[in-house]
Chains A and B, each alone.
Chain A
């Protein structure tokens, strides 16, 4: 048996609709309600009108049409409102601020260098920053009492009767990461492939390009028949990855007590593509690295027999590369702890 529709049913439907619509305060939702009533509730009312006849049909039909008019007017109205509201919605208002921290640009660059060398099978080693003179100079073939030692602007630890102590007991702040070469090789068997990132020190007045402490990345590869051509390949790949560009390198003769032959390594300027700019001082090349084939005396210091093994070593200034990459004009910013600087990384 089918329940017969009465005119009160339409009144109830209307009440229910109005109640539902009033409860909702978003135009979008009200729109949805209107649609639902027209498409579902009212259409089923009109469907069941077929089964009625006469006066009742006319009465209910009229009421239902009035309700449909009411709802569709409301729908029009709401559509307008929604349209208005969406017009007012400003996607250009600023996003809500989220405070995150940051990692120092030197750390970031150091990690990048490490990842490149790790891919080439290099291990990471570390050594003390407070070093003794033997590792920092003697073991690296610096002649005793030679002007070369003065070139390093060494920062020494104040010690009583320093002159009389053996070099193993005379302390200084390491002037380069190279002492770790000898420390690492001393108690291991070749072959070696390491990088040594770390802080180094120079006792010189600070200015926009000099700091009392800064960062170096040392590299060392020792084995049987390691050549300058091998060095070119390893370092060439490194710089391409580091600058993310097809940069070239060139070697110029140089001198370091701990390498023979020694080179300065220049990398082609990735900023101007060798056309000449302020970074490369119009030469198209940037000096980035000191390097060379490990001096046999250094291998001897580390108890490695130079008649069987040889290799290359290099030292890269991390601060300088970071300055080039980020276009930073003052090295002191790295050690300032200034949030206006740190926040940018």
Chain B
């Protein structure tokens, strides 16, 4: 809120600290001053009034009260008293919407001379960004800026009938507002009406019909209290937000209406030379009750961690206009009417703490017992995984949790979770997979880098029926590797985070993300934990990707579950190992895995390691065949193997392999 320094000064006889010092004081005890602006004849302080204090501090009076308490200055509200004439106020108020309107006051002033406002009013209005119009309208605005209570003035002669009604608008009811804009209303909106039609949108904006102008003689002034939710709903429905609606939306105290009314009427009588009509029309069925709060000084000390002297506590609360009764250490307080934010003990502690000054609270280490809780195991899996990919040459990427329409095609539409009014269509759906993000990264990096190797660990989101769910996934992408290089890196990864025995199997791709021939699912103990493969031609075309790449995605929650921290040591044999090579001719469609299983089974425990060092097709190899070249390592844990023993095992393996028709060991 923009506050006029000159306006604030009007509450004090003493001189205020200079604007920058005042701003520092407010910042440390109250709220942040975002900007101090110097104008021709004033300073404007833009204070960030937080919502909890909107009910009393969207006003110069409220901020002045705060300054009085924190700077220990004497503050007084300039006195304004209404002298009523003999003529009685005429008419009646009929509130049809009891839940939406907590108070409705009307007063009248006759013989008003509408003209220009005195210069001090115009200056203060301008500082606050309000355009002066005429003295009566200016006074209603001035008093709102002073007290926080929105006011509204009508020309009594322009109101038809004998009563003012507060009611819901009828469907399609129309109104033209003071700024000459036409609105069509509905039942969500409250209106102030005469006997025939609306004369204003309640709490939001006045209508043009009873506008105050040069010809106005009798002014009726409204000070009301509308329910914050109703005004919020109405304001959204008509699409208007004003200084008045803002204050009602946050909520203001009912008592404020009479304070503001008294001041505004007195000013109109004084400045516009009017005469107040006798009596007030006041609909005010239920007085607001204030909470009564009891606490011990010790509780304040326990929360703040500092001993605020009893006398200081009492003084602080009194300066903030609390009613205070103290019996030694026991306090019984009632907050002032304007503090709607004070509800319980903790609220009072904050008042004491901030006014006393948080800078007076010194560091004090907690003396709580440390109770060991959850182990950090699952977080370790994430750290280990990221470190492993880093070591394998991959860069960690963070992508948005959203995808646009274009990236959504490979996924089942029914599973996508759509956002309500996202700021940009780039964020239309929650990401159902991490792969679209990495593909986008590939495209963006291709220009600058020959090789792109990325990984990401993050949440993905899907829905089944109306059930939404999220899951942590791990994805990788590499344009530097072919299928088997990538597979080698995956093996290395699983080995490093101690998940042994992952296996690979053929898989059908669901959405056309992968090249259907170069894709495999990755299993652990028969359960699928992810898949990887080559990007499909379709994706490459759609995204205009230059390079080919491998990518994969894994269920990271499974990885976390399987991840182990500690590896069991495999003793190094003291005995030498022996090496034998085998060249095996097999039909071209024979899978490596089949051969491997056979050798492993035949070799038994003493066959420590099997290395495939060449796969060859072509010259010297018969049509339709290929040659696997294996190197076998034999090693015993308890003795040196003689060459006779090694040969015997070697021969056995050869025999087993040759049992398969079509397989032939080359000698």
Q: A-side interface residues toward B, CB under 8 Å?
A: 99-104, 106-107, 111, 114, 118, 121, 123-125, 128-130, 145-148, 151, 155-159, 162, 171, 173, 191, 193-194, 199, 201, 203-206, 212-213, 221, 223-230, 232-234, 236, 250-255, 260-264, 293, 295-296, 310, 334-340, 342-343
Contact = CB atoms under 8 A, between A and B. Distances in A.
Contacts of A339: 395, 445, 448-449, 452, 454
A129 B400 CA distance: 13
Contact of B354 (A111, A193, A261): A261
User: DSSP majority for the B interface?
Assistant: mixed
Given A295-B346, A342-B397, A118 B376 contact: yes
Given A194-B373, A337-B397, 6 more contacts: A104-B396, A121-B370, A199-B458, A212-B422, A227-B303, A228-B353
B270 interface: no
Nearest to A189: B371
A223 B370 CA distance: 11
B524 to A, nearest CB: 23
A212 B387 CA distance: 27
B365 interface: yes
19 contacts: A101-B392, A103-B387, A123-B376, A129-B459, A157-B419, A194-B373, A212-B423, A221-B366, A228-B304, A230-B305, A252-B358, A253-B358, A255-B53, A260-B349, A296-B346, A335-B400, A336-B444, A337-B444, A339-B454
B350 A212 contact: no
A143 B155 CA distance: 38
Nearest to B229: A145
Closest 7 CB pairs of A and B: A229-B305, A227-B305, A337-B441, A261-B350, A229-B364, A255-B50, A121-B370
Interface stretch (B26-34, B85-93, B527-535): B26-34
A244 to B, nearest CB: 19
A145 B358 contact: no
Contacts of A223: 366, 368
B31 A253 contact: yes
Contacts of A236: 363
A233 B346 contact: no
Contacts of B424: 205-206, 212
A229 B390 contact: no
Contacts of B305: 227-230, 232
Contacts of A228: 303-306, 353, 358, 361
B51 A229 contact: no
Interface of B: 27-32, 50-53, 228-229, 232, 249-250, 302-306, 344, 346-347, 349-350, 353-354, 358-359, 361-366, 368-371, 373-374, 376, 379, 383, 386-387, 389-402, 417-424, 427, 430, 437-438, 440-441, 444-445, 448-449, 451-455, 458-459, 461, 466, 468-470
Contacts of B418: 157-158
B391 A148 contact: no
A336 B443 CA distance: 12
A335 B390 CA distance: 18
B630 to A, nearest CB: 31
Contacts, number: 228
B297 to A, nearest CB: 14
B474 to A, nearest CB: 13
B346 A107 contact: no
Contacts of A262: 350
Given A339-B395, A342-B396, A233 B365 contact: yes
B368 A221 contact: yes
B461 A130 contact: yes
Nearest to B29: A253
Given A252-B32, A260-B347, A335 B370 contact: no
A327 to B, nearest CB: 19
Contacts of A148: 51
Contacts of B368: 191, 193, 221, 223-224, 226
Given A155-B419, A156-B420, A107 B53 contact: no
B493 to A, nearest CB: 12
A224 B420 CA distance: 42
Nearest to B353: A261
A204 B427 CA distance: 11
A252 B48 CA distance: 13
A261 to B, nearest CB: 3
A107 B385 CA distance: 12
Nearest to B52: A255
B496 to A, nearest CB: 13
Contacts of B420: 155-159, 162
B302 to A, nearest CB: 5
Contacts of B461: 129-130
B249 A232 contact: no
Nearest to A129: B459
Contacts of A118: 376
B419 to A, nearest CB: 6
Contacts of B419: 155-158, 173
B440 A99 contact: no
B423 A226 contact: no
Contacts of A251: 358-359, 361
Listed residue (A121, A236, A260) with the most chain B CB atoms within 10 angstroms of its CB: A260
A307 to B, nearest CB: 10
A291 to B, nearest CB: 11
A229 B304 contact: yes
B366 A157 contact: no
A229 B401 contact: no
A118 B444 CA distance: 38
Nearest to A104: B396
Contact of B364 (A125, A158, A232): A232
A186 B422 CA distance: 32
B397 A227 contact: no
A205 B353 CA distance: 37
Nearest to B441: A337
B430 A130 contact: yes
B177 to A, nearest CB: 22
B217 to A, nearest CB: 39
A155 B383 contact: no
Given A157-B419, A226-B366, A262-B350, A100 B391 contact: yes
